[in-house]
Every structure is written in structure tokens, then in C-alpha cells.
Amino acid sequence: MDLALLGFGNVGKAFARLLAAKTQELQEEYGFLPRITAIATKKHGICIDPDGLDEKALLHLLDGSKPMDLSVLDRMDFEGDTFEFIRQVPAHILVETTPVNPHSGLPALDYLRAGARRGLHLITANKGPVVYGFRELTELTSQHNRLFRFESAVMDGAPIFSLFRGPLAGAKLHGFYGILNSCTNLLLERMRNGETLEEAIAYGASIGITETDPSNDVDGWDAAIKVAALSNVLLGQSLTPMDVKPTGIRGITPEMIASAEAQGKRWKLVCQGGWKEDGYKVGVKPEMVSPGSPLYTVDGTSSFVSFELDVLPGLGILESDPSPKTTAFGLLADLIDIVKSETR
């Protein structure tokens, strides 16, 4: 099974390492050999080899101390833009891990459209195309008997969307709530330990959790796009992050943190979506939670989501301190699902 990787940041690199580590297991357990035949990036160049990129050479580049230049692995002397790459690449599956655009899903959405029209299976860890193109990409891929998969888009490698295609297929989902942005969860914890928001952001940046401009996290937009993704895919909505109208944690002061502590409570950025008596409602806003809430003990960079179903009133999924490796696992799970679909 030949794979083309579009984007090769921390998640893409972790996925390449995971494939190398799991090659024998995938052959023995699932009967297929994964091969990366191409990688396209903005920073590190482009490489294509129809016979599969040299795995040892690729891992050597990943582990090297020098800036990575993927062109040394190229065997096609490729020239062209990303869309030409998608048109020419010798692959069965396009794996997209480029940066998210919460306002339109572009350009990743256009890349995936091009891949679908060419007849490739699609795997993405990108929330944008899921929110803005779930139905379209599902339809485009199905026209070619291909699949669109995106398990890593909301909670890294935690199984969410696959649960509703499989084990929970007979259950009716009414709504969900939880902590979907691990960055703000860490920031609030640091503030609870005496830091200002600015100090907490600086710490997050030092360990690679926050960006130089952390506004997407701090102002609730990352959480909002995840709420929109869950709502659109699992509950039939057509929402954008703007429809969610998030309130972030920028207004949480040390005094508010101290007041919550005095009451035995904690501030959390709570995400929710679901059916109410007056229609479908969504929200992202800071709330004080009590020790009896499952959100109270979600610490550090962990995430949690609870689903309200007709037969399971409170099914919760906790992901503790995720990393690029856990996101890469979600990509691998999607790959295995696609391979299984071709043998059914």
C-alpha cells in the first residue's frame, strides 16, 4: 500500500517512524506492506520514489542534527506545485498533515479535493477539511470507491469517529461535552499553581505546546473547530467555528482562579454540543467545575469527551498527555481501516 505524505512536521515525522516500527506487524497481522513513496513539504522540499523511499535514509534524515533536505531522496526530479504533486504521485493514499486554517480549511481542503478527484483514499489529521468539507470529501471519495478518514482530527489518536462507525453504530447520540483543547487545560493548571497567563503561555512555548501566537488556543478557536467537527460528523450539523462563538480563557484572572480554589472548584475550558428543547446548541467557554465532575481531574495536556447516548447516558473517553506519536497512531488506525475495506 503506497502512501504520499503531504506535510512533514512533528506528526508526519512521527507517522514515518511509526510505520517503520510497525512494518513487520502490519504484514503479519493485516497482510500489507506500507510504503511511503512521496513526501511534499514547504520547508524541507519534495521527494518521490515510485519504488518506495529508502526507509533507512529517511530515518537517518529524521534523526540528523542538520536541517532536513528531502530532495536527496527524490528519484523523479519532480518540478511543480502541490497540486501537480498530487496529480503525479505514485500512491494509493494521500496522508495530509498540513497546518490547520480554522476560518476556511484551505488550502488543505483543496489538496484533499484534488486527491479525491484523482481517486486516492484520503487520511487527514487536519480539523479544517473535516469541518468545511466532510460531506463533500465523503461524496467525492465514494464516487471512486475510496474512503475519507480523519480519526486524529479532534483528540489525536483517541478512537472517536471510528466508534460511531463500529461499536456504537446502533446507538443514538444526543450530545457531548468535555475538554478538547489540551493547551488551555495546561495553561489553567499553571495559573492555578500561581503563574500569570503570560507566564503559563511562555512555559507552554518552552515545551512546544503553545505557538508563538497562541490566540487560536487561548481565545477558544481550536476548541470551537473541534466542536464544529464533532457536531457536523456525528450529529448532522453544518457548523463553522464562527457559529460556535467561543469564549476563551483570556479573561480568567488570578483572582478568579483563587476564588474557585476557595470553593474547591477549578476553571476549565468546557466544550459542548447537542440537542436541547429549543434546538441544537453548542458552546465553548470557561466554567468552574466541582470535584464531582469528570472534568475536574483532567490535568496537564490531557483531553476528555463524554457522549450522551440513548443507551449509554455517559460514555467518556480520556486521553492523557497526547503527543505527535499518539496523533500518528490515529493516522495508522485510519490506514488499517482503509486496508480492511479493500478486502471486505
Active site residues: 226
**82: Cβ–Cβ under 8 A, 6 or more apart, which residues?**
6, 40, 107, 111
Gap between the Cα atoms of 303 and 292, Å rounded: 17
Q: CA 89, 95, 100, 106 torsion: positive or negative?
A: positive
In order, the DSSP letters of 295-327 are TTT--TT-EEEEEEESS-TTEEEEE-S--HHHH
Kind and range of the H or E run holding 267: strand 266-276
Gap between the Cα atoms of 17 and 137, Å rounded: 28
Cell numbers placing 157: 489518536
Give the type of residue at 103. H
Gap between the Cα atoms of 288 and 260, Å rounded: 7
Gap between the Cα atoms of 199 and 244, Å rounded: 28
Helices 182-192, 197-206: inter-axial angle, 10-degree rounding: 130
